[in-house]
Structure 1
Amino acid sequence: MTTSEIEDLRRQLAHLKGIEQRYLKAEEALMNFEKRNRLIGDSAPLGMFTIDMQGNLIGINRKMCELLSWHPNLNMAPVNLMNCEAIALSGVHADIQRCIVKKRAIVVDHPHTAPQGNHIHLRYYLSPIMDDQGTVNGVLAMVENYTHLKQAEDALKDSERRYRQLFQSAPIALVEWDVSDLKQYLEQLRADGVSDFKQFLDQQPQQILHCWELIKTADYNLAFLKLMGICIHEPPDGAFLPTDVEEFLSMAREVILVAAEGNPDVERETALVTTSGKRKTVLAKSLVISGHEETLERVAIAMVDISQRKAAEAALKESERRFREQAFRDGLTGLYNQRYLYQALAKKVEHAQRTGTPVSLIFMDMDYFKRVVDTYGHINGSHAIRKVAHSIDSCLEQPAFAVAYAGDEFVVVLPGMQIEHALGKADEIRTLIRDTVYVLDKGVEVNLTASFGVATFPDHATDLNELIAAADHALFAIKQTGKNAIGRFISY
């Protein structure tokens, strides 16, 4: 053998060794790839298996073995799924063939009985395995244990049956609507470019009646007929009768928007006018009928007549309002009392601090009022105080208010009023009291006068206590110099 032949053999040997190394690396990479795939498959929460066109099992993950109660270490290579008794009994064979023939994914549910005898329900997601030419070479299946879901579905069906039984005998008014035509019309409007249905109905209010006519009454119970005052022999063909046009249009618009936005779970209070003209307040709750969750084509409305409850609530609120009002009112005069003065004035002063607005206060005291009591008695004195309080209150407009401070003393709070205007208001009250002849018991007539002290926040005080004290100081000062007069606070 020549030297060149030996060199040629060496080169061929080196080439073969290179091929061998590449093969070993490829084989190792393939094993790692298969190992990773097996790890991913075994970690999947769903069962997985693949078969070829003859039904031979190509691959299966651990979860699938658990679902079928197969030993996870069992060599599945020689297993033909078509000959597997557990699979055959489930009936999934026909679905696998249908998946292959139609060349599209399908989802099917089948019961499965494990060797131990326990029954489960499996959901198969079958997909054809196709090459680049579209030829089917096998089927990939992903399997979910939906036993609990099946139990829930069965319970739902049983609930639907019982619901139908209870529907007619329920004491609550129930009506079932078929809104399929309405939803079809709304989808057509959406396809035509309507995206804002609120704006659409505002601009074309006649559409509300048209949409409402598309709603059909599918079922109702006797309580509903009784609520609406409908004769049992004259059941409604459509939805509610438009016995009150304004309220009807408002309710119809809301129902249409609910259908358009796909949110039927709505609870609201609404007013209904029965066929006899009686107005009732009802609490209405809309729910999707079982089996129509996807299309929302069938909706039930439950209505509870809460007219009496609303009337009782209104009466209770009015009673509470009167009670709170009385707690802040003077029993003799009906004016506010000191408790209200300090609470309300604190808020007025706080608001004035934030906004930079004034609050004026008038402190007034009746002149020589003890003579009236000594001459005509305490009862007539009380009558006189009550009548003077009425004179004071008649001069005021909200937000101003008067307070029966103590005995024959009164306070008037004037939010937003500067000192000059407050002096004018004090003079208006002083003049009215002076010019009024107050008629007391047994025809007794008296003429009365009062003195006034006026101060303003923030000119004369930094808080409500200083404001009251400033007005009182002005009153005290003016009474030292004369009666039936008005004093303005002067700081020293």
Structure 2
Amino acid sequence: MKPKSMETQTTMLYMLGKIFLATKERWGKSMKAINEKTLVDSELRYRRLFEAAQDGILILDAETGDIKDVNPFLEKLLGYTQDEFISKKLWEVGAFKDIKASKNAFLALQKNEYIRYKDLPLRAKNGQLIQVEFVSNVYTEGREKVIQCNIRDISERKQAQDALLKSETILREQSVRDSLTGLFNRRYLEETLRREINRAARKKYTLGVIMLDIDNFKTINDTYGHPTGDMVLCEFSNIISRNIREEDIACRYGGDEFIVVLPDTSLQVTCERAEQILSLTGQMQVQIEDSTISELSTSIGISLYPDNGNTKGDILQTADMALYSAKNNGRGCMVLSDRSV
């Protein structure tokens, strides 16, 4: 085969080069068109997601804090129009004006690039306070840095949490309260008395315990019936509650027996409280239909920590023995324990 001349080879290379350049140009144009279409499609998908999102979204300029975009959900949630958002600083929008830390949070976001508030109150244009979760991130969009703020309405979740907490509080209160009188119950007394004795031991102070019993209560129940007996118990409980200090603990110990724990109290103050309850019980009257129950009385036993015992059981035992002595002394009186266990 006769070899090709240099001229022929040069011509062939030239033609191949032209074909390559033409192909490259066409390929470049095709790729550019594909990239542009991909970018447009991507932006369109983002816009659809942005406008359909069920969370509020704000886009801020990361340098100035100016709001660049806001989605329809946030406009509806807070009641502000797009014009009331765009080109304003975050802290210039009415919903955020009550948040003193808005500007400082923005500055911190510029530095840390992430901020989250789990429970943030925002005020809607109509004045309603809306609880939201607020999350902000910084990212790059082209050559610019922007801040995206995602704002989720957690009002229903917050209300459910508050309702649960309230329910738990009510259940806890019911578990330590006597349902008839509203005073603390025996369970609470035993927990509290042990705790108060330990505190008195640490702080080196005395603690008074008053044990009370309504005299002849069984006769009242047998004569007038249990509903009337309940009225007597409630009125007696009111006398106790109105004549003790805020820090004192009044409990219905069982039946017609009551106990008052007086933390950090002298013997004199403990006796004064007991005498006052004793006197007011003698004046107590309970109205039932066309008659009145009066001339009621209570017997009282008093015990003092640490004079009459060092444990819950000791204190209750010596108070109970003092109460028994008051009953044997004719009722309607109080006896101070002179024993120690």
Deviation, structure 1 residue 159: 9.3
- Tell whether 2:335 aligns with 1:484: no
Which secondary structure does the structure 2 equivalent of 1:227 belong to? helix
Q: Which amino acid aligns with 1:458?
A: P
Match for residue 176 of structure 1 among 45, 51, 59: 59
Determine the structure 2 residue equivalent to 1:250. Answer: 101
Match for residue 208 of structure 2 among 360, 365, 379: 360
CA gap 1:172/1:437 in 2 versus in 1, 3 angstroms: same
Summarize deviations over 1:244-289 as a string: whole Å, max 9, x none. 6872323333333443x43533333211111111111111111122
C-alpha distance in structure 1 between counterparts of 2:214 and 2:97, whole Å: 56
Deviation, structure 1 residue 339: 0.9
Which secondary structure does the structure 2 equivalent of 1:247 belong to? coil
Contact persistence 1:438–1:447 (CA under 8 A): no
Determine the structure 2 residue equivalent to 1:69. Answer: none
Which secondary structure does the structure 2 equivalent of 1:266 belong to? strand
- Tell whether 2:302 aligns with 1:454: yes
Q: How does 1:371-410 map to 2 (within 5 A)?
A: 371-410=219-258
C-alpha distance in structure 2 between counterparts of 1:392 and 1:491, whole Å: 25
- Tell whether 2:146 aligns with 1:298: yes
Match for residue 137 of structure 2 among 274, 287, 293: 287
Match for residue 126 of structure 2 among 257, 260, 276: 276
CA gap 1:299/1:323 in 2 versus in 1, 3 angstroms: same
- Tell whether 2:81 aligns with 1:231: yes
Q: How does 1:460-471 map to 2 (within 5 A)?
A: 460-471=308-319
Summarize deviations over 1:343-379 as a string: whole Å, max 9, x none. 1112112222222222211111111222222321222
Instruction: Name structure 1 gaps, 5 residues minimum.
Output: 1-157, 182-214
C-alpha distance in structure 1 between counterparts of 2:114 and 2:332, whole Å: 71
Q: Which has the higher contact order (CA 8 A, sep 6+)?
A: 2
Which secondary structure does the structure 2 equivalent of 1:432 belong to? helix
Larger radius of gyration: 1
C-alpha distance in structure 1 between counterparts of 2:310 and 2:43, whole Å: 71
C-alpha distance in structure 2 between counterparts of 1:433 and 1:246, whole Å: 58
Deviation, structure 1 residue 413: 1.0
Q: Which amino acid aligns with 1:254?
A: A
Contact persistence 2:109–2:136 (CA under 8 A): no
C-alpha distance in structure 1 between counterparts of 2:223 and 2:154, whole Å: 59
Q: Which amino acid aligns with 1:318?
A: K
TM-score (norm 2): 0.80
Determine the structure 2 residue equivalent to 1:197. Answer: none
Summarize deviations over 1:39-62 as a string: whole Å, max 9, x none. xxxxxxxxxxxxxxxxxxxxxxxx
Deviation, structure 1 residue 169: 2.0
C-alpha distance in structure 2 between counterparts of 1:345 and 1:360, whole Å: 10
Contact persistence 1:173–1:304 (CA under 8 A): yes
C-alpha distance in structure 1 between counterparts of 2:277 and 2:231, whole Å: 18
Determine the structure 1 residue equivalent to 2:161. Answer: 313
Determine the structure 2 residue equivalent to 1:422. Answer: 270
C-alpha distance in structure 1 between counterparts of 2:206 and 2:141, whole Å: 67
Q: How does 1:18-417 map to 2 (within 5 A)?
A: 165-181=48-64, 215-232=65-82, 234-238=84-88, 239=90, 241-243=92-94, 247-259=98-110, 261-290=111-140, 297-417=145-265
C-alpha distance in structure 2 between counterparts of 1:274 and 1:267, whole Å: 18
Contact persistence 1:267–1:286 (CA under 8 A): no
Deviation, structure 1 residue 470: 1.3
Determine the structure 2 residue equivalent to 1:136. Answer: none
Deviation, structure 1 residue 408: 0.9
C-alpha distance in structure 1 between counterparts of 2:154 and 2:317, whole Å: 53
Aligned length: 299
Which secondary structure does the structure 1 equivalent of 2:98 belong to? helix
C-alpha distance in structure 1 between counterparts of 2:260 and 2:276, whole Å: 12
C-alpha distance in structure 1 between counterparts of 2:96 and 2:48, whole Å: 34
Instruction: Name structure 2 gaps, 5 residues minimum.
Output: 1-40
Which secondary structure does the structure 1 equivalent of 2:94 belong to? coil
Determine the structure 2 residue equivalent to 1:137. Answer: none
CA gap 1:396/1:246 in 2 versus in 1, 3 angstroms: farther
Match for residue 475 of structure 1 among 314, 319, 323: 323
Deviation, structure 1 residue 419: 1.9
TM-score (norm 1): 0.56
Q: Which amino acid aligns with 1:354?
A: R
Deviation, structure 1 residue 161: 8.5
C-alpha distance in structure 1 between counterparts of 2:323 and 2:157, whole Å: 53
Contact persistence 2:62–2:138 (CA under 8 A): no
Deviation, structure 1 residue 436: 2.3
- Give the aligned CA root-mean-square deviation in angstroms: 2.6
Contact persistence 1:454–1:487 (CA under 8 A): yes
Which secondary structure does the structure 1 equivalent of 2:177 belong to? coil
CA gap 1:244/1:225 in 2 versus in 1, 3 angstroms: closer
Deviation, structure 1 residue 438: 2.2
Contact persistence 1:451–1:478 (CA under 8 A): yes
Summarize deviations over 1:59-98 as a string: whole Å, max 9, x none. xxxxxxxxxxxxxxxxxxxxxxxxxxxxxxxxxxxxxxxx
C-alpha distance in structure 1 between counterparts of 2:289 and 2:257, whole Å: 22
Identical residues among aligned pairs (%): 28
C-alpha distance in structure 1 between counterparts of 2:42 and 2:324, whole Å: 82
Determine the structure 2 residue equivalent to 1:437. Answer: 285
Q: Which amino acid aligns with 1:274?
A: A
